[in-house]
Amino acid sequence: MKVLRPVFFILAASQVVDAHPAELQEGPFTGEVTVSNAIPASDFNLEEYFDKGDLSSPVLDKRSTCQVIDRVIRKIGTNQNKVVYITSGASLGLAICNLTHADQCNMVGLAIGASLSIIFALANDYSGGEPVPVPELPGPASLKEGTYMSAVKAAMSSSALEYAEILPAPLHDTTEKRSDDEPDLLERFLIKGLRSADNTTGHNIFVHHYSNGGSVLHVPVSDDVATDNLHKRYDHPGLKISYTTRMKSSLPKSRQRDMASSIGSMWEYYAKTARMDEYIGFEEENGKANFYFRIIPETRGFGENYESVDVCGGMAGYL
């Protein structure tokens, strides 16, 4: 899947900088970028930021601050996507890029674009905000095929996405919760070999669906580790993408990849230039949200706790 490459990617991938991007509209980036306080990535001390004892209490809770960005990234007709917030403080976006042992952030941006293509396909086919019930099926409860998995299959079958197979995954007995009122995990399944029709690179992505209607994608980004073990938690660098769908989107299927790729490209930009930890935004049409999302770096594996898209506050006021 080809990632859009605006001119701001001439910035050296070996630097972390503070930047203020100009607004992106239809077409390529044409604004100016103000750069200051460059810090070589070689001086970035990864261990300083990691609490090795607790994966479910990420560093961002302790060190990150929310910044309002409120910028349109890509606009196609009446559809546009917007970055509303980034959180910063620990440079976890760049840390993920450096931990992949790949071409800095390019591999991560590709994985984000592929993952968001799932959400765009769902937004085109499915209006969410309510939990999808899991039917009572015979067999072990941990291996039920729920209706959200069926909804994802249906949405992807009518999109330009291809995959090898979708497999139900067992629910673990001890799913982490940060509070008693956190929603329950209803379904967990693996999409193997996700790719666009014109791309040979596939991605393995776990989908988690919760009792409040929200979902979280687990996106491994390391290319040298097996990611298809349904019973074992992935304990290598990756991303979580939390999302909740709202109004159905009329964005043509032929343009969904453009939108998804633009978000992956902008994530790369902020990871390289803004000490970014998390990237938070939405897709909208005529002032109404199609879906909200939040991209969360995970340095040493995934917990299965729910991640709210509203960690920096509600976004309806930015529509």
Q: Which residue has the higher pLDDT, 235 or 156?
A: 156
User: Quick one: DSSP state of residue 55?
Assistant: T
In a domain, 228, yes or no: yes
In a domain, 1, yes or no: no
In a domain, 23, yes or no: no
Collect all residues with Cβ–Cβ distance below 8 Å to 269 and sequence separation of at least 6: 6, 8, 9, 19, 21
Domain enclosing residue 289, as ranges? 66-318
Count up the domains in the chain and report the number. 1
In a domain, 210, yes or no: yes
Q: How far apart are CA 163 and CA 217, in angstroms?
A: 16
The pLDDT assigned to 87 comes to 94
Q: How far apart are CA 169 and CA 230, in angstroms?
A: 5
Q: How far apart are CA 38 and CA 17, in angstroms?
A: 5
Could you report the per-residue pLDDT of 131-176, keeping only the tens digit for each?
Answer: 444 444 444 444 344 588 888 888 888 777 888 889 888 876 655 6
In a domain, 4, yes or no: no
Collect all residues with Cβ–Cβ distance below 8 Å to 48 and sequence separation of at least 6: none
Collect all residues with Cβ–Cβ distance below 8 Å to 73 and sequence separation of at least 6: 24, 80, 81, 82, 83, 262, 263, 266, 281
Could you report the per-residue pLDDT of 274-313, keeping only the tens digit for each?
Answer: 889 999 999 999 999 999 999 999 887 677 888 999 999 9
In a domain, 27, yes or no: no
